[in-house]
Amino acid sequence: MRAQALVAVAFAAALSLVGCSSGTPAASPSASSGASTAPAGGAGGDVGVFTWWADGSEKVGLDALEKLFKEKYANDTFVNLAVAGGAGSNAKAKLAADLQNGNPPDSFQGHAGAELQDYIRADQIEPVNDIITALGGSSVFPQSLLDRLTVQGNIYSVPSNIHRANVVWVNPAVLKKAGITAEPADLDAWIADLGKLKAAGVSAPLSVAGTWTQVQLFETVLIADLGVDEYNKLFAASANWESDGVKKAVAHYAKLLSYANTASDGDDWPGATDAVIDGKAAYNVMGDWAVAEFTSKNKKDGEDYTYFPVPGTKGVFDFLADSFTLPKNAKNPGGAKDWLALIGSAEGQKAFNLAKGSIPARTDVPSSDFPAYQQSAMASFKSDKIAPSIAHGAAVSQAWNSDISSAISKFYGSKNQATLVSDLAAAAKKNAA
């Protein structure tokens, strides 16, 4: 499939540092102890699962999985180790300390892609080939996605979902105040609409939250101004982060922020999405986990809210995926394998993604089981060009992400475009192979 080939291109640079292997991984020596041979009712004992799904619709998705886990594995006791903080900004710091101190959870959430480099290099996670094989392997997961989770013949996490990051969530009632009826064709047209809204009395037409949401907004602007192919090249060793295209994106980004609310670094995404729901803002750029936030507030798709790709990114799927690992020295590896088997199953992915707003990583879950937005996302993923997310660990390592986040945070205060460009270039020089 075209989309699968493009995923491979998007992730090739991201995982080149860790010797990404192509092709079907060899079965691990422990395949006979995989998910398919787990005791009926589960291995037993506490199963500590570490995520950053502590609030909003993300918690709703985790709750759906916890309920199903209790039904399927009655011998196991789910222990929720969630730490609040969108995109894992707070959770990752605690997780790093726990892993360093030899106190790993039984399984932890990680973004598929370059973010896994850190754990693999530190020898902190085990291969999960046996679990992927028991779940159906490449017959149910796109081979290109499995390739991007594979290092030297081993798969290191089980994907639970696929998200799209380049989505603008819209309150049409607010747009009516400025007579806006059409989707903007590009960033300049969108900025013009923001100006109309401001003139019509909407004080902050665009809502943002803390730094990671600003990084996500900026990555979508990069995609819009560079195009998906040039954007994907940014993560190679020879990338030029001081190009005219990057400078143009920084200028557009600065203009967009001039129409946004004032946010603190600790502000999380639900508040920014709720600003659109409540009519305080017209637009919010957020991943499609936001759809569950609208649903939780009883808002109707096409009436109370609409959505479109960030202007200039139509035909591009800004990709991220959540996945779960098997840490080395986990207290209950059998229970962890039960958890991984559940989140990778068709039933688990349907329950979770219906609640969270994402789409299944598996290809055998019918799109007809999902509401309108997810059906549109499934179709887009099959046909659109793929770009890996910076903010959500698909494109860059945690260290690189941290440096980009620091540059974006500094810019939010200074608004110095030249400094942001130089900071981004320095981050790439420091982190790119």
What is the tens place of the pLDDT at every residue in 4-52?
Answer: 333 333 344 333 333 333 333 333 333 333 344 456 789 999 999 999 9
Binned at pLDDT 50, 70 and 90, residue 312 comes out as: very high
Phi, psi of 379 (to 5 degrees): -65, -40
What is the tens place of the pLDDT at every residue in 176-192?
Answer: 999 999 999 999 999 99
**Residues 13/235, Cβ–Cβ less than 8 Å:** yes
Instruction: Give the residue-averaged pLDDT of 363-386.
Output: 94
Phi, psi of 289 (to 5 degrees): -65, -15
In the chain the first and final C-alpha atoms are separated, in Å, by 29
Q: CA 272 from chain center: how many Å?
A: 17
- Residue 87 has a pLDDT of 63
CATH superfamily of the 18-162+321-369 domain = Periplasmic binding protein-like II (3.40.190.10)
pLDDT at residue 205 greater than cutoff 80: yes
Closest CA to 350 of 336, 378, 363, 369: 369
Pinpoint the residues of the chain covered by CATH 3.40.190.10: 18-162+321-369, 167-312+397-431
What is the tens place of the pLDDT at every residue in 65-88?
Answer: 999 999 999 999 999 999 987 667
- The domain at 167-312+397-431 falls in which architecture? 3-Layer(aba) Sandwich (3.40)
Alpha helix ranges (H) inside 157-263 = 172-176, 187-199, 211-226, 228-233, 244-257
Question: pTM of the entire structure?
Answer: 0.85
